Amino acid sequence: MSEPATAGPDEAQALHHLSQRLRRVLPHQRAATIDQAIADALEEFDGRPIREFVPILVERAVLDRLRQAGAGGDAGAGAEGTELGSRHLAV
């Protein structure tokens, strides 16, 4: 997964942690699928000057996209019950 040129080291690290966390929380999803969803969501924020909340917004977009794509019952049913729903990235 590649970050845009405007992403700083903190953002890149937060996105890496997001990928790892999603792999743990959504073990039925392929790692490549998760990373592609992150990259796709990240593209929406290319060139945006304020980057502080990008990892959180990417996380939400990825979860929504995976749910809509039929990621499985437990991915959409209980994000609030997972570590993703109760805590977001600290940037």
- What's the pLDDT band for 74 if we cut at 50, 70, 90? very low
* Mean pLDDT along residues 55-81: 71
pLDDT above 70 covers a percentage of the chain that reads 69
- DSSP class of residue 79 equals G
* Mean pLDDT along residues 62-89: 57
Q: Which two tokens stand for residue 21?
A: 């966390």
CB atoms closer than 10 angstroms to residue 60: 14
C-alpha torsion angle, residues 74, 81, 42, 26 (rounded to 10): -40
Residue 58: per-residue pLDDT: 95
Residue 83: per-residue pLDDT: 43
The residue with greater pLDDT, 29 or 80, is: 29
Residue 69: per-residue pLDDT: 83
